[in-house]
Amino acid sequence: MVTGYIGNHIFDLHPKENIKDLFGRDDEYKELERLVKTEWVVVLGRRMVGKSSLVKTFIKEHDGIYINLSGIRGFKDFILSIASQLGYSLKELSLDLKFLEFKWSRIAEDIFSRLENKIIALGEVQYVSSIRFLRLLKRIWDEYPNIRIIFIGSMVGLINKLLNPSPSSPLYGRKPAVIYLQPFSKKKSREFLIRGFNEFNINISMEEIENVVERLNGYPGWLAYYGNFRCVRKLDVETSLRYVIDEGVKIFEEEIENFLKGKKRENYIKALRIISIGARWSEIKNELRVNSKVLRDILLNLKNAMLIAEDDGYYYIPDPILRIAIRSIRV
Ligand SMILES: Nc1ncnc2c1ncn2[C@@H]1O[C@H](COP(=O)(O)OP(=O)(O)OP(=O)(O)O)[C@@H](O)[C@H]1O
Ligand SMILES: [Mg+2]
């Protein structure tokens, strides 16, 4: 007997790539379509909000190229990865690598010159933050106006260099457009769960839906994980919730640790802790005992990294899983 749903389903844990599997992102998709005609675009958003799904689906529909940059540490690595993901052998490219330690930028340009008229999506861009990469982007901008680029990112780093280039940056005056992807509304989150459970012919009670939406808060990634635990692995409600939260906490811990590198850890952790219960500027200042300038920098960095949000002087952390992760980070 066949049980459950065969083929792609909404609780699949990979980024979606087919338009029929992309749930609830019609407006963002249209916005991307509109912007990409004339501009480079950055799709920005917190972890698990569905950036890769939106962009991969878009790219597939538009015969573009999606290049995954996660794990890439430097410029050479970047070029090699692009070449291999596009299926170019290095021999085929105009230059022979043996001699040419210093000509990576030209190899890169050669690759890009073959991509005229294409839309190229660069995933997880935060890891390639070198000046050479920025210069390459400037060359592409100047020389190949028909190449459109979509950047995806969740943290600052390069994204910040793209969005706020300093006057000395090669990208000064070439600011890309931004699509800031938000979590689903409560209504959409409920519909997401219902559709997924329906695909498996499994009933879900209103009570379960409300409980899950309350605890996981509109992040399609966490909702998909939950649905997967419930419908594919057949776990019960509490176990599924616990597993999702454990998984999420792990991702956030790593993200926070990356963010803290090179920063004054104690201040940031204190700030995150108090903000995780919600706090005003003065309360945070009292807690940290730092001057206003230092505090302003701390809060700005945390905001840029999308670890906190602000509403008219009130600082808080929207993601319930991130709030839990903060409790377990040591000073
Ligand atoms: N609009 C959507 N419709 C259906 N499923 C989605 C949607 N958005 C995200 N998902 C699901 O949520 C999970 C996370 O999505 P995705 O990888 O696109 O997020 P992301 O923002 O790129 O995450 P990360 O920051 O970790 O790279 C995947 O299982 C994906 O299938
Ligand atoms: Mg992604």
Digit-coded pLDDT (tens) for 161-178: 777 777 887 777 778 899
| Burial class for 236, CB neighbours closer than 10 Å (0-12, 13-18, 19+) | exposed
Q: Which atom of ligand 1 is nearest to the CA of 13?
A: 29
Ligand sitting nearest the alpha carbon of 55: 1
Looking at residue 127, its pLDDT comes to: 59
Q: How confident is the model at residue 7 (pLDDT cuts 50, 70, 90)?
A: low
Give the model's pLDDT for residue 106. 79
Residue 303 in any domain: the answer is: yes
**Euclidean distance between CA atoms 139 and 217, whole angstroms:** 42
Asked which of 147, 180, 213 is the last residue of a domain, the reply is: 180
Instruction: Determine the Cα–Cα distance for residues 30 and 22; give it in Å rounded to an integer.
Output: 13
Write down the pTM of the prediction. 0.86
Q: What are phi and psi of 184, to 5 degrees?
A: -65, 150
**Residue 176 and residue 36 share a domain:** yes
Q: Which residue among 136, 165, 180 closes a domain?
A: 180
Q: 166 and 286: one domain? A: no
CATH of the domain at 48: 3.40.50.300
Q: Is the CB of 56 under 6 A from ligand 1?
A: no
**Nearest residue by C-alpha to atom 16 in ligand 1:** 50
User: Is 12 close to ligand 1, i.e. is its CB under 6 Å away?
Assistant: yes
**For atom 15 of ligand 1, which residue has the closest CA?**
50
Which residues is 149 bridged to in the sheet? Answer: 120
Decide if 209 is inside a domain.
no
Number of domains in the chain: 2
pLDDT reading at 27 higher than 90? yes
Q: Is pLDDT of 98 > 60? A: no
Has residue 283 been placed in a domain?
Answer: yes
| Ordered alpha helix ranges (H), the chain | 26-36, 51-61, 75-85, 104-113, 131-143, 158-163, 186-199, 206-216, 220-227, 237-260, 265-276, 281-288, 292-304, 320-328
Q: Ligand 1 pocket, 154 CB below 6 A?
A: yes
Give the number of the ligand closest to the Cα of residue 221: 1
Q: Which of 129, 163, 180 is the last residue of a domain?
A: 180
Count of other CB atoms within 10 angstroms of residue 44: 20
Question: 15 CB less than 6 Å from ligand 1?
Answer: yes
Range of the domain at 281: 253-328
Residue 80 vs residues 77, 89, 162, 211, 247: alpha-carbon distances, Å: 5, 9, 22, 46, 32
247 by Cβ neighbours in 10 Å (0-12 / 13-18 / 19+) ranks as middle
Q: Is the CB of 125 under 6 A from ligand 1?
A: no
Per-residue confidence at 3, pLDDT binned at 50, 70, 90?
A: very low
pLDDT band at 1; cut points 50, 70, 90: very low
- Average the pLDDT over 72-77 and give the result: 78
pLDDT value of position 4: 44
pLDDT tens string 242-295: 999 999 999 889 889 888 988 999 999 999 999 999 999 999 999 999 999 999
24 lines ligand 1 (CB under 6 A): yes
In sequence order, what are the residues at sequence separation of 6 or more whose Cβ sits closer than 8 angstroms to the Cβ of residue 20? none
